[in-house]
Amino acid sequence: MRSPISGYTRLTKVHTFSAAGIAAAGVAALAFAVVPNGSADAEQSQAVKPVAWNASAFGETQQAELNKQADRAAEQAKKDAESKKKAEAEAQAKAKADKERAEKEAASRSEERKPVAAAAAPAAPAPKVYANNLDGWIKESLDIMKAKGIPGSYNGIYRNIMRESTGNPNAINNWDSNAAAGIPSKGLLQVIDPTFKAYHVEGTSWNIYDPVANITAACNYAAKVYGSMDNVNSAY
């Protein structure tokens, strides 16, 4: 039956006793569950007891971890020191190399600025030595003739010398027409003074009796008149 004031249903005595009985049963069940009576339940209860905290074991574990951390820190410090030492060594080596390179470049620039010494003139070849005989005189005359562009050969010169003077550089003709005219033929190739002076070769002596001067002047004359001393086969 609803109360006209509160709006809730009023419990009867039967309902009140039933609720009290249920509550009592619940308390009994809870007490049985918390404090078991059987031996099996006692063993199970003992199995779930919490493990006691061991301060000594915890301290050893903590110390071991601290030791590991200290070892790692020491190893890292060692690596850092080695890296720093290596970097310093590399920096010193680079600085040394840069200094040496700069010194070399400065020396090179200084060397480039030095005036280049003039190249020494090649030594003049030693003068050719000729024998002081007919062979030497002919060879020296041929070298002069070659330099001056005067034709002639050793055999042609030798042949005419032997016919004209038999190789005597002081020979003189005092009996032919030239001698009669007061201009005798002289020297190895029997040249008269006017011809010697007209066909004298520069660089030779002005002495008509000089063997080399006499040969080159006579060959110069023969080249103009006969084409070469080689073409002369008689008095000319």
> pLDDT at residue 118 above 60?
no
Is the model more confident about 92 or about 181? 181
Task: Assess contact for 141 and 131: CB atoms under 8 A.
Answer: no
Q: Rounded distance, CA 55 to CA 155, Å?
A: 135
Cα gap 118→140, rounded to integer Å: 35
b/e per residue, 9-27, with b = 16+ CB within 10 A? eeeeeeeeeeeeeeeeeee
Query: 148, 199 in Cβ contact below 8 A?
Result: no
Q: CA 69 to CA 217: how far, in whole Å?
A: 117
Task: Look at residue 106 and tell me whether its pLDDT is greater than 90.
Answer: no
pLDDT grade, residue 122 (50/70/90)?
Answer: confident
pLDDT in tens, 10-30: 444 434 434 444 444 444 444
3-state secondary structure of 172: strand
Q: What is the pLDDT of residues 25-53, one digit of tens each?
A: 444 444 334 444 444 444 444 444 444 44
Q: What is the pLDDT of residues 189-235, one digit of tens each?
A: 999 999 999 999 999 999 999 999 999 999 999 999 999 999 999 98
In this predicted structure, the answer to whether residue 65 has a pLDDT above a threshold of 60 is yes
